[in-house]
Amino acid sequence: MKIIKVHDSKHAIGKAFELSRDFLKNEKKLNICLTGGRFGEKFSNFLINHNSLIVNKNFYLTDERISKLIWEKNGEIVLKKLIKNKNFVNCNFINFEISTKKNKNYFDELKIFDLVFMSLGEDGHLAGHFPTSNNIDKKICFTDRASSKPQKRISFRLDFLMEAKRVILIVLGKEKENALISLLKGNSFHSKNILKRFKEFFIITNIDNIS
């Protein structure tokens, strides 16, 4: 585990890109999992504006909010923007709603992620995996009792996400300080999966009391 201190979200985006550049610029077929929320939106905007050629990638989302409101869905916030970028060549953009369409179940074919971005919730949840989530299978979990709205969330399980070749966790904002401290001290629901990961795991944060 390596903790990288940043000043703000712009600085965090730059560091996240540095850590992911070798995957994004590699022309091999790779599986990359993006986070949603505020950071996911800002990072996807950065990728669009960076004007870098990205080839042969399967892009997934860590989780999805199940809602009738389009603006609440991570797929709309992140993947729909990337799809329109002409610099993404021969890439698949796979969300939970389309994963089994066109007679092809992308989740069944998915063995491991090469790169995963995650963000930490104020209550300590990671991706869309909450303490109330129930495992559907070895990769996916679901809850209809999330701690914030919309309460229905479907997500990759944290233990599956943490098997990725490289994991980048972004934690920004003073309001997440207690959640991050709890996670690193072993007191969080997800601590057991986080703390056993020793290699290729980076935490990007602007929280001062973390070292």
Stretch 2-24: mean pLDDT = 97
Report the CATH number that the domain containing residue 9 is assigned in CATH: 3.40.50.1360
Q: Quick check: is 50 in a domain?
A: yes
Q: Quick check: is 210 in a domain?
A: no
Q: Quick check: is 9 in a domain?
A: yes
Give the tokens for residue 161: 């996400």
How many structural domains is the chain composed of?
1
pLDDT at 101 over 70: no
Q: Which domain holds residue 153?
A: 2-111+126-173+187-205
Confirm if 177 and 209 have CB atoms less than 8 A apart: yes
Q: Quick check: is 88 in a domain?
A: yes
Q: Quick check: is 154 in a domain?
A: yes
- Per-residue pLDDT of 183-201, as tens digits, reads 999 999 999 999 988 789 9
Q: Quick check: is 182 in a domain?
A: no
Q: Quick check: is 121 in a domain?
A: no
